[in-house]
Structure 1
Amino acid sequence: MTGSDNGAVAIGIDFGTLSGRAVVASVADGRELASAEHVYRHGAIEETLPTSGAKLPRSWALQSPADWRDVLRIAVPKALEAAGVTADRVVGIATDFTACTVLPALADGTPLCELDDLAERPHAWPKLWKHHAAQGQADRINALAAERGEEWLPRYGGKISSEWQFAKGLQLLEEDPEVYGRAERWIEAADWIVWQLCGVETRNNCTAGYKGILQDGKYPSSEFLAALNPEFADFVEKIDFPIAALGDRAGGLTAQAAEWIGLNEGTAVAVGNVDAHVTAASAKAVGPGQIVAIMGTSTCHVVNGENLTEAKGMCGVVRDGIVPGLWGYEAGQSGVGDIFAWWVKNGVPGEYTAEAEKRGISIHQYLTELAENQNVGEHGLVALDWHSGNRSVLVDHDLHGVILGLSLQTKPEEIYRALVEATAFGTRKIVETLVGSGVPIEEFVAAGGLLKNKWLMQTYSDVLRMPITVLTSAQGPALGSAIHAAVAAGVYPDIKAAAEAMGKVERNAYVPDPARADAYDELYAVYDELHDHFGRGGSKALHKLHNIAIEASK
């Protein structure tokens, strides 16, 4: 995407699971002048450690800080060159990150994995958001918090996730206490990258609240942490730092960072943010009752409310967590696009792939064409979308996927359709839980890579019985970051004003079909039954299988 503009621009950088993307956008109207992507050399580190080749345990997922720096050095200059924009026209830069992606570092910001004596220690590396090996620690945190009646626990729907800072930090302590002791900082990548850009250490309100259990200005007490493990009592010292509001200016580009990316020293750098939450701005969904689903490898759901209520199984509710002045609610599904990719990689016959190649289309498109020709329920299947565990509303990453109703006549496209439907059912469960807890939802807004599949989006509309508004930018998080950069630079007084001017949406792009919606109600009832049976104690089979697999892999 290229273009030119004589006015001021802002740069947004979105650090994802496998790559980073930079967008150059006009601050006047959000028009995207150019974008560029850099694919991480190390990708998501899930099997072996890059330094030693040592096998990583089950459910681990790491990243490399070198890949993040390469996004600054490579993607941003490419985007600027494609846009034909000079440094003098750039008023600000902002970043967003997956979360909780967290790393141990020295007091000067040096990642521990970049120290020669720790490079071969897995716990010295950043833990990616989908690192789920701390479920045992999360279970203990939740049990103790419930037993002690910790006031913060209901703000997280009654359970904190294994993905978050405290569970991952406790795992670090208990599995590699030396690395834990060397870690002077336990910092979200969202804050670390801002530190690299402007030389100023900050903590953003979003990750601190949703991933760091910061509520009403307080973290969990040292007494609580010591009850988990006496050596964990000092953990808050590694994360505690003054909190900066979203849209604020963190500082100006350092000379080194300006040289990396080809901008002027002192250019405004915004406070860090999370990829999902920043997308609310690009989707013009910064008011109450507008839920945004950022649909990609996983899905994150964020919505603002005017009042505080405690919704069971949510990832959290944080004051000013999405925009200042409102309560921001977050929920999510740990696997969505990842589930479809798993099936394509492991379950689709070679002749299907050959036919797709012959026709010059992707295997996903070919399976979609076959699947959408069926009537709702014709395949006789219902699946549970837990291949990466359940983030909301069960908050249990030891749960795994289920497909019910298989027969010798079941076709690959039917399983593909059932998996798509399962993710839509999971979203409906989240929406119903929020509404049932007193969080009004008046508009469903979709963003992310899965918007390319129109049948999938129509399926979501039918399952939800709601019209769907779509973000028309292909780079929603990066555009959202550019919007925040414009605010940090002083172009707009606040996020709401910037979002109204720079956001890009198509209202009611998909409208539910009443007949299909009725049919999906029947399938959803079966999903709901399975959801509670396997997820709420009716059967412990999935947990037993998980434990057997863990022991067998040792």
Structure 2
Amino acid sequence: MTAAVNAHNIPDGAVVVGVDFGTLSGRAVVLRVRDGAELGAAEHPYPHAVLTDRLPGGGPALPPDTALQVPEDYREVLRRAVPAALADAGADPADVIGIGTDFTACTVLPTTADGTPLCEVPGFADRPHAYAKLWKHHAAQPEADEINALAAERGEPWLARYGGKISSEWEFAKGLELLREDPEAYGRADRWIEAADWIVWELCGRETRNVSTAGYKGIHQDGAWPTRDFLAALDPRFASFAEDKIAFPLSPQGERAGGLTARAAAWTGLPEGTPVAVGTIDAHVTAASADTVAPGEMLAIMGTSTCHVMNAEAGAAPAEVPGMCGVVDGGIVPGLWGYEAGQSGVGDIFAWFADSFAGGAASREAAENGESLHDLLSRRATGRPPGAHGLVALDWHSGNRSVLVDHDLSGVIAGLTLATRPEDVYAALVEATAYGARTIVDAFESSGVPVHGFTVAGGLKRNPFVMGVYADVLGRPLHLADSDQAPAAGAAIHAAAAAGAYPGIPEASAAMGGRTRDAVLPDPGRTAAYDRLYAVYTDLHDHFGRGGSDALHRLRAIRNAALNGGGAPAGAEHEERIR
């Protein structure tokens, strides 16, 4: 077994591996332990990507808002990306002192008692509920609404820790959906486990559960899950859900979960027994790589969606921030209250518009210039006075995670005219996500949780137009995480702590993480202009999101009814009607 090292005697050649399991692919990095230098990296796309239409074997169309994944794709990342990253680094596997992983959350799957995914059990491959439900599986919104209504009615004390609402993305809503829609699969599932913990089980051969996913996605607060009485009130068959399928001793962040099994060693090319860090959430582990674990330092991990995480000083009780995704004792770093908020769609929204609506002349010009459509639209929009396009959008194309916690909401673009150009809409969508981020910051500060700094990690930090808009809308400098593979690097830093190279995550983060402070500065004049536009955004936000109109909910209900066969006729049936 690999010998542990300590911060005072780290061999020059010691390295750690971090593996980030994202929405569409897995990425592995190799970091030098003594200073965090990135020596190598590799990526492996999931062969099945996200299942939204049909299962791998075909069959009926999947219901609206379904997003599933195939667990074997995750194993393939270990087989391919980890050896490739080691080769890219030119690293000797014998020099690897630890491996850490992170995962999207809440990505959750049913398994048997030995950890076998239910979709791999004979007779269940053709059942959607036997697969991993990706974080953006939002089909459990009715169950989330039911849980929230009952918790509010009963005055459940844990509800305030989640800003007053739990999400359809989380373990209990998705678990109740499983019970209601496939009771046989529910009964066959011995475990309902976050993929963050399942992949660690695959690596070290023993089941573990981490404090972070249990607290943020599993409603575990003050040492307890929701009671049997509460769960039975939802559905008598659901009464033992927590104790039967998710309850397990919880491990702190940065601890050792176990050592690599012979099977996992063969997959990764690492020595058997290599220390494996406890699982964690991709956004939360990124705080270590961005060196933002100190209280008051908000980190926004901006990609397809955005997660906002921040620590606050430990105390008797945390502040209650409306619409936050959760606050957990030790959820990011042991000994501090870890807060999370988020936006369900950011980069996804930009890609949706560029890929589906900004074609024609803009697409041809981008091709002629040898640039991406995103770069063209960003370049056209750069430097224009705020408000010149006359638009304000609501960034709810994937629903709203914070602060409304309502995934039945949808996007809005106000102010369109026949003079509106593609770059105008693109700019308005970028601005909308920045207004959404400002709404989150305002919610924290108005609740007595000060935000001292705002750091950005993720792929969008490389877009100067997007970063400039965010700095101007927020009216504060942006710090940028140094690593371009920040979640994977954070997982590697957790591995260094788990292996004993540093006393804990803060020390490992200080030595191995980093960010560029004040990388993007706000323009006071543009900030003042955006203040006026933000007021319009807030009016629309509250009108459509806080009860001024239920139009967006009615549209969603009409759409779902139509897709499920209860709406207006289409296709051949429509042709028959007009003969």
User: What TM-score results when the alignment is normalised by the length of structure 2?
Assistant: 0.94
Match of 1:328 among 292, 314, 338: 338
- The runs of at least 4 consecutive aligned structure 1 residues that moved more than 4 Å come to none
- Residue 53 (structure 1) shift: 4.0
Is 1:381 paired with 2:391? yes
- In structure 1, the partner of 2:309 is 302
How far, CA to CA, are the matches of 2:262 and 2:19 in structure 1?
Answer: 19
Question: Within 5 Å, which residues of 2 pair with 1:517-536?
Answer: 517-536=527-546
- In structure 1, the partner of 2:321 is 311
- Residue 357 (structure 1) shift: 1.1
- In structure 2, the partner of 1:267 is 274
Give the conservation status (yes or no) of the 8 Å contact 2:50–2:68.
yes
Question: Within 5 Å, which residues of 2 pair with 1:349-364?
Answer: 349-364=359-374
Aligned partner of residue 462 in structure 1, secondary structure: helix
Aligned partner of residue 133 in structure 2, secondary structure: coil
- Which ranges in structure 1 are unaligned for 5 or more consecutive residues? none
Aligned partner letter, 2:131: W
Is 1:96 paired with 2:102? yes
Question: Within 5 Å, which residues of 2 pair with 1:348-497?
Answer: 348-497=358-507
How far, CA to CA, are the matches of 1:82 and 1:552 in structure 2?
Answer: 50
Aligned partner of residue 445 in structure 1, secondary structure: strand
- In structure 2, the partner of 1:74 is 80
Give the conservation status (yes or no) of the 8 Å contact 2:52–2:68.
yes
- In structure 2, the partner of 1:277 is 284
Aligned partner letter, 2:435: F
How far, CA to CA, are the matches of 1:516 and 1:221 in structure 2?
Answer: 51
- In structure 2, the partner of 1:239 is 246
- Residue 504 (structure 1) shift: 2.0
How far, CA to CA, are the matches of 2:286 and 2:494 in structure 1?
Answer: 10
How far, CA to CA, are the matches of 2:57 and 2:229 in structure 1?
Answer: 38
How far, CA to CA, are the matches of 1:81 and 1:225 in structure 2?
Answer: 50
- Residue 372 (structure 1) shift: 1.1
Aligned partner letter, 2:292: A
Aligned partner letter, 2:436: G
From the superposition, tell whether residues 450 and 63 of structure 1 become closer, same or farther in structure 2 (CA, over 3 Å).
Answer: same
Give the conservation status (yes or no) of the 8 Å contact 2:162–2:324.
yes
Aligned partner of residue 264 in structure 1, secondary structure: coil
- CA deviations on 1:441-463 (whole Å, 9 max, x unpaired) are 10001000101101110110100
Give the conservation status (yes or no) of the 8 Å contact 2:25–2:45.
yes
Give the conservation status (yes or no) of the 8 Å contact 2:232–2:238.
yes
How far, CA to CA, are the matches of 1:199 and 1:322 in structure 2?
Answer: 25
Is 1:160 paired with 2:166? yes
- Identity percentage of aligned residues: 64
Is 1:347 paired with 2:353? no
Aligned partner letter, 2:86: L
- Residue 6 (structure 1) shift: 5.0
- In structure 1, the partner of 2:236 is 230
How far, CA to CA, are the matches of 1:217 and 1:415 in structure 2?
Answer: 47
How far, CA to CA, are the matches of 2:384 and 2:91 in structure 1?
Answer: 49
From the superposition, tell whether residues 451 and 53 of structure 1 become closer, same or farther in structure 2 (CA, over 3 Å).
Answer: farther
Give the conservation status (yes or no) of the 8 Å contact 2:12–2:34.
no
- In structure 1, the partner of 2:112 is 106
Aligned partner letter, 1:552: A
- Residue 334 (structure 1) shift: 0.2
- In structure 1, the partner of 2:195 is 189
How far, CA to CA, are the matches of 1:446 and 1:436 in structure 2?
Answer: 22
Count residues in correspondence: 550
- In structure 1, the partner of 2:37 is 31
- Residue 514 (structure 1) shift: 0.2
- CA deviations on 1:456-495 (whole Å, 9 max, x unpaired) are 1011010001111100110000000000000000000010
How far, CA to CA, are the matches of 1:250 and 1:347 in structure 2?
Answer: 47
How far, CA to CA, are the matches of 1:36 and 1:257 in structure 2?
Answer: 18
Aligned partner of residue 14 in structure 1, secondary structure: strand
How far, CA to CA, are the matches of 1:281 and 1:27 in structure 2?
Answer: 13
- Which ranges in structure 2 are unaligned for 5 or more consecutive residues? 1-10, 565-579
How far, CA to CA, are the matches of 2:434 and 2:406 in structure 1?
Answer: 19
- CA deviations on 1:489-523 (whole Å, 9 max, x unpaired) are 00000100000000021001011100000000010
Match of 2:258 among 246, 251, 254: 251
Aligned partner letter, 2:213: T
Aligned partner letter, 1:256: R
How far, CA to CA, are the matches of 1:53 and 1:517 in structure 2?
Answer: 52
- Residue 387 (structure 1) shift: 0.2
How far, CA to CA, are the matches of 1:454 and 1:367 in structure 2?
Answer: 12
Root-mean-square deviation (Å): 0.8
User: What TM-score results when the alignment is normalised by the length of structure 1?
Assistant: 0.99
Is 1:293 paired with 2:303? no
- CA deviations on 1:173-219 (whole Å, 9 max, x unpaired) are 00110000000000000000000000010000000000000001100
